[in-house]
Amino acid sequence: MSNPVKTVKVTVDNQIIEAPEGTPLLQAMLDAGLDIPHYCYHPKLSIDGSCRLCQVKIDGMPKLQISCNTQVRDGMVVHVADPEVEMTRKGVLELLLLNHPLDCPICDKAGECWLQNFSMRFGARHARTIDTRRKRGKRLDIGEQILLDQERCILCRRCVRFCREISKSNELFVFSHGDKSVLDIYDKRLDNDYSMNVADVCPVGALETKDFHHRMRVWFLEDTASVCPSCSNGCNIMISSARGKIWRLTPRRNDEVNDTWMCDAGRLNYKFVGDPARLRAPMVAGEGGPAEAGWDEALKRAAGAIADFVKRNGARTFGAFASPHLTNEENFRFGEMLRAIGAGRIAMAVPRGRQDDFLIKAEKAANARGVRELGLVSGDDDGLEAMLRACEAGEIRGLYVCGGDLLEVGQRERVDAILEKLDLLIVQDLAMRPRYGRAAVTLPATAFAEKEGTFTNHAGRVQRIQRAIAPPPGWRTDGEIFTALMNQLSDRAERFELESVWAAMAGDGSRFAGLAFDKIGPEGAPLDTA
């Protein structure tokens, strides 16, 4: 930067903290690891100063100041552990709780509610009120995905600012004044592509997603840091799982990718993982249609069929569709396997959809860029048209297809005619699809939440996904399937281990070369752009 930001020093309770000039004092204190209660301040939203909870005592100022709307100044002396500050917090919390319904047992936020946490830590033990609590609207259906509970609302206006500044759709407002203030919608319902983020920013249970409403208590959830698989933006997420099931996805902060937001479509796209229609065992074609088979048997059948095909038709007539949903490592191993076979052509079908200028990208798969960076596919359409032509011309007579995206590219009759003509079809997919009915072997694919690996997003940032729920015992992940087939086809004894695969990838001369696996932190790392 040409104009470096000056760093200033602030004394907070005898501790000296440093922060760039212009930082809100609250943010500086939070960054230093201090525990300052606050509601309305959000690092990605403008400052509102409505909750009054973050007040601190600053030398030279006559009254307590809200630290969110106070910028750090050099030589500032701040007192937090101060009886006056403590008393103020207690008073503010008592005010916020004055009309709070205290229906924590039925509130989905209970357990991660800031009002609960801060009242327990900084508030009074018991309420002094004797009047009945104010009644307001509960369970108001204000949008496709969101329920509003006006009794629980503490009027921090985070959601209002979110709709004004981030989604720019202006649905939520606070109406009336003083103790009659109430959060509501006005002329349109809360229906935008990012509406569910208001439930994240809401520090209490006033805004809840319908998807998570009365489903699971948050204290049973186990969080796994991962990456959203729904488009090539690669928003960082937390997978919340319990009892072997995913219950919700929430955005994880990454200033390089998604700040603290994610779109509703991505957030709701986890149900396929636990879909009962998913393939739970390999299927092998038999007399009376596909039948379940053991893993070893199915892999042996697949390897045998490929070897047989290559012997009869030559390796050049064998082609493959790589999947943009699989990780970098798996696709690399897929490439190795195809090299071991000597396959003639590789293409990739990428599902496409709507995009906007914020987070939603047109490519509805997480790792299309990774497949391209590995050099598996080339061309504007990732070799799709050329592959379809080669199949039609009879140059490609056997296909190994990963994923169901080939069926989604349009040109339905054309693709079906090609699939009908093939001598050998091996499919690796999440579910059985009737249009892949001619597959000799169908191997179950593994969902993003059940495996480890890395995705490369549209901008070339490599980010890790991690296993949140365990697949059934004896399960082979996609990478293990490719490795087993490669071993059987070329008499090798490789294993699928992330570090060793990554080392091979880096040694392959691809753009992954400059990147060590253990250097990919929780926020990912950019590919070597040189």
Partner 1 sequence: MAVQVVKVRRPAATFSSANPWIAILKGLWVSIRHFFGNLGLFLRGRQDFAIHFPEQRLVQPPALRGMPVLAQMADGKERCVACGLCEWACPTSCITIYPAETADEVERYPEIFDIDMSRCMFCGLCEEACPEEAIIMSRQIEIASYSRRGSLWHKADLLVPVDQLKTRTDYIRRNYER
Among 105, 288, 434, 473, binds partner 1 (CB under 8 A): 105
What does the angle CA 165 – CA 171 – CA 172 come to, to the nearest 5 degrees?
85
In the region spanning residues 117 to 146, those forming contacts with partner 1, defined by CB under 8 A, are: 138-139
Shortest Å, Cβ 466 to partner 1 = 25
Quick one: 243 or 389, whose CB is closer to partner 1? 243
Distance, in Å, from the CA atom of 402 to the CA atom of 388, rounded to the nearest integer, reads 15
Q: Is 498 exposed, middle or buried (0-12, 13-18, 19+ CB in 10 A)?
A: middle
Shortest Å, Cβ 196 to partner 1 = 18
Provide the residue type at 239 as one letter. I
Shortest Å, Cβ 211 to partner 1 = 13
Cα separations (Å) of 385 from 47, 280, 335, 388? Answer: 52, 32, 20, 5
In 3D space, the residue among 401, 469, 389 whose CA is nearest the CA of residue 226 turns out to be 469
Q: How many other C-beta atoms lie within 10 A of the C-beta of residue 86?
A: 12
Among 121, 135, 189, 214, binds partner 1 (CB under 8 A): 214
Among 188, 217, 412, 414, binds partner 1 (CB under 8 A): 217
3-class DSSP state of 394: coil
Among 90, 213, 253, 435, binds partner 1 (CB under 8 A): 213
Quick one: 134 or 213, whose CB is closer to partner 1? 213
Shortest Å, Cβ 216 to partner 1 = 8
In 3D space, the residue among 473, 444, 428 whose CA is nearest the CA of residue 331 turns out to be 428
How many residues touch partner 1 under the rule CB under 8 A: the total is 12
Q: Which two tokens stand for residue 471?
A: 């697949």
Distance, in Å, from the CA atom of 436 to the CA atom of 1, rounded to the nearest integer, reads 55
Quick one: 175 or 220, whose CB is closer to partner 1? 220
Among 32, 95, 98, 104, binds partner 1 (CB under 8 A): 104
Shortest Å, Cβ 347 to partner 1 = 45
Distance, in Å, from the CA atom of 175 to the CA atom of 153, rounded to the nearest integer, reads 13
Shortest Å, Cβ 215 to partner 1 = 7
Choose the binding region for partner 1 from 162-170, 215-223, 483-491, 517-525 (rule: CB under 8 A).
215-223
Distance, in Å, from the CA atom of 194 to the CA atom of 218, rounded to the nearest integer, reads 22
Choose the binding region for partner 1 from 98-106, 160-168, 179-187, 312-320 (rule: CB under 8 A).
98-106
- Kindly write out the interface string for residues 52-91 of this chain, putting x where it contacts partner 1 by CB under 8 A and - elsewhere: ----------------------------------------
Distance, in Å, from the CA atom of 245 to the CA atom of 76, rounded to the nearest integer, reads 50
Angle, in degrees to the nearest 10, between helices 478-490 and 295-313:
50
Shortest Å, Cβ 205 to partner 1 = 12
> What does the DSSP 8-state code read for residue 166?
I
In the region spanning residues 181 to 210, those forming contacts with partner 1, defined by CB under 8 A, are: none
Quick one: 101 or 524, whose CB is closer to partner 1? 101
Among 32, 47, 95, 110, binds partner 1 (CB under 8 A): 110
Quick one: 110 or 315, whose CB is closer to partner 1? 110
Contact at 8 Å (CB) between 24 and 69?
A: yes
Contact at 8 Å (CB) between 466 and 226?
A: yes
* Sign of the C-alpha dihedral computed for residues 48, 54, 59 and 63 taken in this order: positive
Choose the binding region for partner 1 from 172-180, 211-219, 222-230, 448-456 (rule: CB under 8 A).
211-219
Checking DSSP bridges between strand 65-66 and strand 453-456, what pairing results, if any? unpaired
Q: Does 277 bind partner 1 (CB under 8 A)?
A: no
Choose the binding region for partner 1 from 74-82, 151-159, 213-221, 439-447 (rule: CB under 8 A).
213-221
Contact at 8 Å (CB) between 319 and 376?
A: no
Shortest Å, Cβ 302 to partner 1 = 40
Interface with partner 1 by CB under 8 A: which residues? 104-106, 110, 138-139, 213-215, 217, 219-220
